[in-house]
Chains A and B, each alone.
Chain A
């Protein structure tokens, strides 16, 4: 939920450049800043994100999703975009969480405002990174950015 400071109070809304805004987390805390020009590109929020798994899955501390190589992860979300196919890349993370590459790519289908993404990963640590996807959107001059919290996957070996 985003609130914008207008008329001396915090109200629900979409910030524009120069607006003070608060973005609330699921626990009731929030971040506060000023919406910057660099962020004034149209922001499409990705909401109601639901992840489900076919195969082994465990939710670890820090919200990290532990899966196995055989696990298929299905992510659905609401996004106000026309029916289309969007390639989504995951960033492979190194020992120090540095970005190594973004070569793991999967097509997400958008239909009637619902995005469905199916992924299957090799052993390693991967990030479904909003920043990286937005970099890709900039590269193809999409004219908008997505907004969602990153999801991290820890893919472990099958014994």
Chain B
């Protein structure tokens, strides 16, 4: 089970944050995020510019969200998900489908976002630390 918002042994302490980033996601252009060496990665926010079906989020080799519909910022619809911003950033207002930031289980572990949809733009931010 992937713990959310925590790492083993205590609270995640971020050392590096990104601002809002974007990526055009398609079956041939999955996005893999990797932390700096020895650090633990946290996916702080993830949503679509529009709604994107068939999105999978994997921590390392483990799919923690599988083939779900990624909502946009105006979404509040059951069956869609977004990952919300963290405190200090302009926070996504939690909706029924909003998940807390996703923290990798181990240092150096990557997070991969992929889709089966033809194309869609995702907005995301991440941080890493210990």
A30 to B19, CA, bound (A): 14
Residue of A39, A62, A97, A131 with highest tally of chain B CB at under 10 A:
A62
A18-40 interface (Cβ within 8 A of B) = 25-36, 38-39
User: Looking at the complex, which one of A28, A31, A35, A38 makes contact with B36 (CB distance below 8 Å)?
Assistant: A28
Give the number of residue pairs across the A-B interface with Cβ within 8 Å. Answer: 100
Q: Does A96 contact B (CB under 8 A)?
A: yes
A29 touches B128 (CB 8 A): yes
B29 touches A31 (CB 8 A): no
Q: Does A61 contact B (CB under 8 A)?
A: yes
Distance in Å: Cβ of B19 to nearest Cβ of chain A: 5
A33 touches B32 (CB 8 A): yes
A29 touches B29 (CB 8 A): no
A120-137 interface (Cβ within 8 A of B) = 125, 127, 130-131
Distance in Å: Cβ of B13 to nearest Cβ of chain A: 13
Distance in Å: Cβ of B36 to nearest Cβ of chain A: 3
A131 to B21, CA, bound (A): 9
Q: Does B79 contact A (CB under 8 A)?
A: no
Q: Does B74 contact A (CB under 8 A)?
A: yes
Distance in Å: Cβ of B97 to nearest Cβ of chain A: 13
Using known A-B contacts A33-B29, A34-B28, A36-B28, determine if residue A152 contacts B17 with beta carbons closer than 8 Å: no
Using known A-B contacts A31-B33, A61-B87, A131-B121, determine if residue A36 contacts B24 with beta carbons closer than 8 Å: yes
A64 touches B90 (CB 8 A): yes
User: Looking at the complex, which one of A29, A31, A35, A61 makes contact with B89 (CB distance below 8 Å)?
Assistant: A61
Q: Interface of A with B (CB < 8 Å)? A: 25-36, 38-39, 60-64, 93, 95-98, 125, 127, 130-131, 149-152, 154
Q: Interface of B with A (CB < 8 Å)? A: 15-24, 26, 28-37, 39, 41, 49, 72-74, 85-90, 92-93, 119, 121, 125-126, 128
- In the complex, besides A27-B128, A33-B30, A152-B20, 16 extra interface pairs with C-beta distance below 8 angstroms are A27-B36, A29-B39, A31-B32, A32-B34, A34-B29, A36-B29, A38-B119, A39-B24, A62-B86, A64-B19, A96-B73, A96-B93, A97-B73, A131-B22, A149-B18, A149-B20
